[in-house]
A and B are shown apart, each in its own frame.
Chain A
Amino acid sequence: MAANPSDIPVPAEGIEALVQNRKYAAGFVTDVESERIAPGLSEDVVRLISAKKQEPEWLLEFRLKAFRRWLSMREPHWAHVEHPRIDFQAITYWSAPKSMANRPKSLDEVDPKLIETYNKLGIPLKEQEMLAGVQNVAVDVVFDSVSVATTFKQKLADAGVIFCPISEAVREHPELVKKYLGSVVPFGDNYYAALNSAVFSDGSFVFVPKGVRCPMELSTYFRINERNTGQFERTLIICEDDAQVSYLEGCTAPQRDENQLHAAVVELVALDRAEIKYSTVQNWYPGDENGVGGIYNFVTKRGDCRGRASKISWTQVETGSAITWKYPSCILRGDDSVGEFYSVALTHHRQQADTGTKMIHLGRNTKSTIVSKGISAGHGQQAYRGLVRVLEKAEGARNHTQCDSLLIGDQCGAHTFPYTEIRNPTAIIEHEATTSKIADDQLFYCRARGIGEEDAVSMIVNGFCKDVFKELPMEFAVEAQKLLQVSLEGAVG
């Protein structure tokens, strides 16, 4: 039932843009000379990475402890995903564009090829370009293992906000990094977090001091370019008392036939009354329609509402990756703290996702909200896995979870595994889940009104995801809608 192209209403940016968007647009490879080490993982590799980054002794110790712990751990198998064994010795743990050997002092010194790469991806690195547009976003871009540029650093510094690559933070603000690194996700937390702690390359560091509202959105853009290279970024965001920040994360990778590993760790710390909003649009290469290639996205993201009345909000739109294994979580430690998780995850073709969240209620009157929207098409397998745990002392804890699945086609799967563990008699917990499909009569109704089938699907899907999209910053919401449309191409008919 292919829709007649002339039936499709022409979007504002023109039919050409629509057609161009029909493939994984981020799938190109940038031809830059890279410095990379040989594949394989050993204590020597860990030392080498640390040496390349000229790290202090305490950080090397952190890495080595993590590495030793990792060696003693077993790969987790409880997730509802299947993949061949990962050969951790076949992966390259360090790769950087040669031009980064001496990190450019300013944006003007960045390799034009890299600038062009990001322009192609729609991420302008020139501050004036950004100013010309309406965007007001500071960007840190991470290319394979290193951060290549951070924009608007001065403007942020004026406000007292530190936004820089984490490797730079290790040099410039060691006391902060030392205090907070590993304090939310300990080095031995889980298999992939331990691996990350041993070999993490770069990532972003954000510190918003007491009472400061970050004057602009912060954004990091991750790109894996090199073949057989893993990306192990590490992000650390700290908001002191009464501080606020909104942080966006985007990711893409070239189209390659082999699977690549991405094992990131993100740690958020919110002190008294602080608010952190963390949004992700994850568009790693998903593999082709037969399941060849694609990123294994095994990520540990966790926020610690350490202070009273603090708030951490996760919003994610997961359209990419061959396999996603990801549970952005909140530890609601401070009394009256609030945790939120809004998620849209889409699996098409042979993609698999096992994603959800953990809300750990420790403090009194803590509240959490979970809204998860899973879309499965083709042979995609999608699982929501969520934990709501209310501990003995969490008087008055509240949670509401809404967990909906949309199925497109009869070969896909949608699964829901919610764990609720309640140990305080004053808790009020509600979990609701539904499953629906795009009904033939809905599609017919749209078509009878002149809307092409794919647009109808996209319309219905966007309606399904509305509760999550409204949590995203404007630019990301638009990007997310487009991504869904592209990702669902060919799902119906």
Chain B
Amino acid sequence: MTIHASYGEAFERFAAALPATERAARAAAFDTFAQRGLPDDGIERWHYTNLQPFAAQPVHLALATAAPDLSAWRLDGCDEHVWINGRALNDAAAPAPLPSLDAHAGLAGLHRAFATPGLQLTVPRDVRLDRPLHVLSVSDAREAGEMFHLAHRIRLERGAQALLIVQNIGLPGATRFSTQSLSIELAEGAQLTLVRVQDEARGTTHWLQTAADVGRDARLDVVNVDLPCETADPIPGEAAAAKASGTLIRSDWRVKLAAPGAHAELSGLFGADGRVHLDNQYEIDHAAPHGTSRQWFRGLGFGPSQAILNGRVVVQRGAQKTDSEQRIANLMLAKGAEIDAKPELEIYADDVKCAHGASCGQLDDAAVFYLRARGVPEAQARALLIYSFINDVLARVPHVALRLRLARRITARLGAGLDLSEATLSGAAA
């Protein structure tokens, strides 16, 4: 296991700035990383992704940079919390406990050793947050190999409700390596909707782990929008090495339905192009009876890229009356695209309803013709059908302006103008 010496140097620098009380735990975490390294594709859960090469490359702590112009990402009516290269822009730097992660030990060790506190949110009992929280984690790498590690912690007390939008933004620049964790705890009857939008820059290696504990009758809704870097052309400000190195985004979603009646709905939209490697691993662990879970995923193979979707449902012994369904549908749009889908079931109880389906195919020619017969040009017909294909997931984004922004981005990528006015989208039925 080769680990580049620069990791150790970065850690010494990082640890020197820590309060003495934290150092021991951080050092232990770093030791675990040093011993175990990063996961390789010989491990079943990392079957399609190998992080080990990144352990052998030089890294250094991301530099502090000035706040960039965020207007393109700003969402109206939200409470905004911004982190740039892992540093809070407007949140008080409160000490936070180290995240505990159920993940590859070496990778978890790396994250724990370097983690800086992200959003630390507790929503009190029966409080419903009026405004959505918009968390922006911006990565602005000026020099090759910059890294940062950010840990968010969210707790909703009994009956609390919130909408959280977590957006990762990569400004064009050098190659970089970052990790992020989201630890979520939902007490009895709490309801959280989490929208994650991944907008990392080319040349990024990023690992996200979201771990949620869903309590009795609580509900978690996740919409994960994981879209490709959208151009094959050079981007102003982008280092040649970043363009050449491709992008690797790995996201682990671990949801535990820990008490009876817990409900989780995960949906994801992913599309890859231009040497992007997207690996999404979802796991729902039914650990108590009467849990329900739904998962809807839509994947697009835009171009030379590899997208992986592993959706795993575990029903523990005793988790009777579990009701779980998972649907994965992928659309192959170009040569060179690879989509690997693996819907898994692991069931240790008998009185359960579990179903999953995965499909991979192309647009339905009959539907394209139907649209053309009504006068819609072929390119637009295809765009409309692709839009409708992903709309099942997109429609789950509760923030209308964000939903429209995402929809426009995708249809712009499809290259045919579609009317995405609100009136059309909602059907204006009323």
Q: Do chains A and B touch in the complex (CB under 8 A)?
A: yes
Instruction: State the A residues within 8 Å of B (CB).
Output: 78, 80, 392, 405, 407-437
Pair A425/B301 contact, Cβ less than 8 Å? yes
Pair A426/B332 contact, Cβ less than 8 Å? yes
Chain B residues 312-356 with CB under 8 Å of chain A are 317-318, 320, 330, 332-335, 337-356
Pair A414/B360 contact, Cβ less than 8 Å? no
Provide the residues of chain A in CB contact with B69, threshold 8 Å: none
Provide the residues of chain A in CB contact with B333, threshold 8 Å: 425
Q: Nearest CB to that of A401 among chain B residues?
A: B358
Pair A431/B343 contact, Cβ less than 8 Å? yes
Provide the residues of chain B in CB contact with A431, threshold 8 Å: 341, 343, 356-359
Bound-complex Cα distance A417 to B373 (A) = 42
Q: How far is the CB of A443 from chain B (nearest CB, A)?
A: 13
Q: How far is the CB of B351 from chain A (nearest CB, A)?
A: 6
Given B337, B353, B354, B357, which contacts A425 in the complex, CB threshold below 8 Å?
B337
| A417-B342 in contact given A427-B360, A432-B357 (Cβ < 8 Å) | yes
Given A409, A414, A422, which contacts B332 in the complex, CB threshold below 8 Å?
A422
Q: Nearest CB to that of B42 among chain A residues?
A: A78
Q: Does B362 contact A (CB under 8 A)?
A: yes
Pair A413/B332 contact, Cβ less than 8 Å? no
Pair A434/B355 contact, Cβ less than 8 Å? yes
Provide the residues of chain B in CB contact with A412, threshold 8 Å: 348, 350
Pair A419/B337 contact, Cβ less than 8 Å? no
Task: Give the A-B pair count, Cβ closer than 8 A.
Answer: 114
Pair A420/B340 contact, Cβ less than 8 Å? yes
Provide the residues of chain B in CB contact with A430, threshold 8 Å: 357-361
Q: Size of chain B's interface in residues, with CB distance under 8 A?
A: 36
Pair A429/B361 contact, Cβ less than 8 Å? yes
Bound-complex Cα distance A386 to B131 (A) = 46
Q: Nearest CB to that of A431 among chain B residues?
A: B358
Provide the residues of chain B in CB contact with A409, threshold 8 Å: 350
Provide the residues of chain A in CB contact with B102, threshold 8 Å: none
Q: How far is the CB of A36 from chain B (nearest CB, A)?
A: 38
**Given contacts A408-B350, A417-B342, A422-B332, could you give 8 more A-B pairs where the C-beta distance is less than 8 Å?**
A415-B346, A418-B358, A422-B338, A422-B341, A429-B358, A430-B361, A431-B357, A433-B357
Q: Does B44 contact A (CB under 8 A)?
A: yes
Q: How far is the CB of A415 from chain B (nearest CB, A)?
A: 5
Provide the residues of chain B in CB contact with A416, threshold 8 Å: 343-346, 356
Pair A413/B356 contact, Cβ less than 8 Å? no
Q: How far is the CB of B284 from chain A (nearest CB, A)?
A: 14
Provide the residues of chain A in CB contact with B359, threshold 8 Å: 428-431
Provide the residues of chain A in CB contact with B349, threshold 8 Å: 407, 410
Provide the residues of chain B in CB contact with A407, threshold 8 Å: 347, 349-350, 352
Provide the residues of chain B in CB contact with A429, threshold 8 Å: 358-361
Pair B358/A413 contact, Cβ less than 8 Å? no
Pair A414/B335 contact, Cβ less than 8 Å? no
Provide the residues of chain A in CB contact with B337, threshold 8 Å: 423, 425
Q: How far is the CB of B278 from chain A (nearest CB, A)?
A: 14
| A425-B343 in contact given A432-B357, A435-B355 (Cβ < 8 Å) | no
Bound-complex Cα distance A426 to B351 (A) = 39
Given A392, A415, A428, A433, which contacts B360 in the complex, CB threshold below 8 Å?
A428
| A417-B360 in contact given A78-B44, A422-B338, A425-B332 (Cβ < 8 Å) | no
Given B318, B341, B347, B354, which contacts A413 in the complex, CB threshold below 8 Å?
B347
Given A425, A428, A433, which contacts B334 in the complex, CB threshold below 8 Å?
A425
Interface secondary structure of A, over-half rule? strand
10 residue pairs, one from A and one from B, having the closest CB atoms: A425-B332, A407-B350, A429-B360, A416-B345, A435-B354, A431-B358, A428-B361, A437-B350, A423-B338, A421-B340
Given A410, A422, A423, which contacts B320 in the complex, CB threshold below 8 Å?
A410
Pair A413/B345 contact, Cβ less than 8 Å? no
Pair A420/B317 contact, Cβ less than 8 Å? no
Provide the residues of chain B in CB contact with A408, threshold 8 Å: 350
Provide the residues of chain B in CB contact with A426, threshold 8 Å: 332, 362
Q: Nearest CB to that of B328 among chain A residues?
A: A431
Pair B346/A413 contact, Cβ less than 8 Å? yes
Bound-complex Cα distance A87 to B26 (A) = 43
Bound-complex Cα distance A424 to B333 (A) = 9
| A433-B345 in contact given A410-B320, A426-B362 (Cβ < 8 Å) | yes
Bound-complex Cα distance A418 to B312 (A) = 11
Provide the residues of chain A in CB contact with B318, threshold 8 Å: 410
Given B335, B340, B355, which contacts A433 in the complex, CB threshold below 8 Å?
B355
Provide the residues of chain A in CB contact with B339, threshold 8 Å: 420, 422
Pair A410/B317 contact, Cβ less than 8 Å? yes
Bound-complex Cα distance A408 to B347 (A) = 12
A-B contact pairs, 11 of them (CB 8 A): A407-B347, A407-B349, A410-B350, A416-B356, A422-B340, A427-B360, A428-B359, A430-B359, A431-B341, A431-B357, A436-B353
Provide the residues of chain A in CB contact with B301, threshold 8 Å: 422, 425
Q: How far is the CB of A220 from chain B (nearest CB, A)?
A: 34
| A418-B342 in contact given A407-B350, A435-B347 (Cβ < 8 Å) | yes
Q: Nearest CB to that of B313 among chain A residues?
A: A416
Bound-complex Cα distance A410 to B289 (A) = 13
| A415-B332 in contact given A422-B360, A427-B360 (Cβ < 8 Å) | no
Pair A420/B360 contact, Cβ less than 8 Å? yes
Pair A420/B358 contact, Cβ less than 8 Å? yes
Q: How far is the CB of A292 from chain B (nearest CB, A)?
A: 23
Chain B residues 275-317 with CB under 8 Å of chain A are 301, 317
Q: How far is the CB of B157 from chain A (nearest CB, A)?
A: 34
**Which residue of B343, B350, B351 has the most chain A CB atoms within 10 A of its CB atom?**
B350
Pair B332/A418 contact, Cβ less than 8 Å? no
Q: How far is the CB of B50 from chain A (nearest CB, A)?
A: 16
Bound-complex Cα distance A424 to B361 (A) = 10
Bound-complex Cα distance A419 to B341 (A) = 6
Pair B342/A435 contact, Cβ less than 8 Å? no
Bound-complex Cα distance A123 to B62 (A) = 74
Provide the residues of chain A in CB contact with B320, threshold 8 Å: 410
Pair B347/A405 contact, Cβ less than 8 Å? yes
Q: How far is the CB of A357 from chain B (nearest CB, A)?
A: 15
Q: Mark B232-251, 1 if CB is under 8 A from A, else 0.
A: 00000000000000000000
Bound-complex Cα distance A414 to B361 (A) = 28
Q: How far is the CB of B335 from chain A (nearest CB, A)?
A: 6
Q: How far is the CB of A401 from chain B (nearest CB, A)?
A: 9
Bound-complex Cα distance A413 to B346 (A) = 7
Q: Nearest CB to that of B331 among chain A residues?
A: A425
Pair A411/B317 contact, Cβ less than 8 Å? yes
Q: How far is the CB of B38 from chain A (nearest CB, A)?
A: 20
| A437-B351 in contact given A410-B320, A428-B362 (Cβ < 8 Å) | yes
**Which residue of B318, B332, B359, B360 has the most chain A CB atoms within 10 A of its CB atom?**
B360
Provide the residues of chain A in CB contact with B353, threshold 8 Å: 435-436
| A427-B358 in contact given A413-B346, A418-B342 (Cβ < 8 Å) | no
Q: Nearest CB to that of A80 among chain B residues?
A: B346
Q: Nearest CB to that of A78 among chain B residues?
A: B44
Q: How far is the CB of A366 from chain B (nearest CB, A)?
A: 15
Q: Nearest CB to that of A391 among chain B residues?
A: B338
Bound-complex Cα distance A158 to B317 (A) = 59
Provide the residues of chain A in CB contact with B335, threshold 8 Å: 392, 424-425
Q: Nearest CB to that of B326 among chain A residues?
A: A433
Provide the residues of chain A in CB contact with B334, threshold 8 Å: 425
| A414-B358 in contact given A420-B341, A425-B337, A427-B332 (Cβ < 8 Å) | no
Bound-complex Cα distance A431 to B342 (A) = 10
Bound-complex Cα distance A424 to B335 (A) = 6
Bound-complex Cα distance A410 to B349 (A) = 5
Q: Nearest CB to that of B343 among chain A residues?
A: A418
Q: How far is the CB of B70 from chain A (nearest CB, A)?
A: 37
Bound-complex Cα distance A415 to B343 (A) = 11
Q: How far is the CB of B308 from chain A (nearest CB, A)?
A: 9
Q: Nearest CB to that of B301 among chain A residues?
A: A425
Bound-complex Cα distance A418 to B341 (A) = 8
